[in-house]
Amino acid sequence: MTPKTIFVLTGAGISAESGLGTFRDRGGLWARFDPMRLATPEAYAADPDTVLDFYNHRRRGVIAAEPNAAHRALARAEARLSALGGRLFLCTQNVDDLHERAGSAAVVHMHGELLKARCTACARTSERRTDIVRTDSCPRCEAVGTLRPDVVWFGEMPLHLEAIEAALAESDLFLAVGTSGAVYPAAGYVRLARAHAIPTCEINLNPSDNADAFDDARYGPASVTLPAYLS
């Protein structure tokens, strides 16, 4: 049976071949930097300049990167399924915009977006392609020094959880691409899929922390394995 609705969860591994670092691989961001000092609200409160610098550097990297064959394969699959009356629900943990630039029409960013800033005073977001500095004012409410990257840090609630879990429950296939299965709630989605009797497959360079929970797997670089799997 060809699945009519596919739920795809992507992680940093899908953007690795575009030159964006992953978090937990050897040499990854969290192997070099302490996430508790960079990716928590407490870190931002204690040392906003260091946190802003880290994300300013990463924002420049995202802008310089290009989508790869794995991002493009998902965009093609979305269009193909949609033409057949089906749906590809793309839920990404990534804060980059490479899915959008590859042509995916609907992308749900559960850990936020690096090319947006959020104001801690008015809570509204705005597009942001340049560095955030503490003398900036919010383009919405004009408060000064209140902008932060619109990303989800440890201890914060991921975004769009209701829509994500509803889409997962209605899908015919759960596909996880390039994610280590180390961070919740996303890491729990494979078990949620299984609880709904939905077949599951992981696409990864190596078995993830959750590998045992999947029915099926394809190991190798996502730019090769994902287009082949979806063709």
Smallest separation (angstroms) from ligand BJW to the CB of 22? 3
The answer on whether 96 is annotated among ligand-binding residues is yes
Q: Is 93 in the site for ligand BJW (CB under 6 A)?
A: yes
The answer on whether 58 is annotated among ligand-binding residues is yes
Catalytic annotation present for 111: yes
The answer on whether 94 is annotated among ligand-binding residues is yes
By CB neighbour count within 10 A (0-12 exposed, 13-18 middle, 19+ buried), where does 165 fall? Answer: middle
Structure tokens at 175: 């596909």
Residue among 135, 133, 144 at smallest CA distance from 51: 133
In the list 178, 189, 210, 214, the residue contacting ligand BJW (rule: CB under 6 A) is 178
Smallest separation (angstroms) from ligand BJW to the CB of 99? 13
Q: Is 67 in the site for ligand BJW (CB under 6 A)?
A: no
Whole-angstrom CA distances from 152 to 90, 92, 114, 148, 203 are: 18, 12, 10, 11, 24
Q: Is 39 in the site for ligand BJW (CB under 6 A)?
A: yes
Q: Is 72 in the site for ligand BJW (CB under 6 A)?
A: no
In the list 184, 197, 212, 231, the residue contacting ligand BJW (rule: CB under 6 A) is 184
The answer on whether 188 is annotated among ligand-binding residues is no
CA dihedral 42, 46, 47, 52 (to 10 degrees): 30
Q: Do 82 and 91 form a contact (C-beta atoms < 8 A)? A: no
Sign of torsion, CA 185 207 12 134?
positive
Q: Which residues bind ligand BJW (CB under 6 A)?
A: 11-13, 16-17, 22-25, 28, 39, 93, 95, 111, 151-158, 161, 178-180, 182-185, 204-206, 208, 221-222
Annotated binding site for substrate, which residues?
A: 55, 58
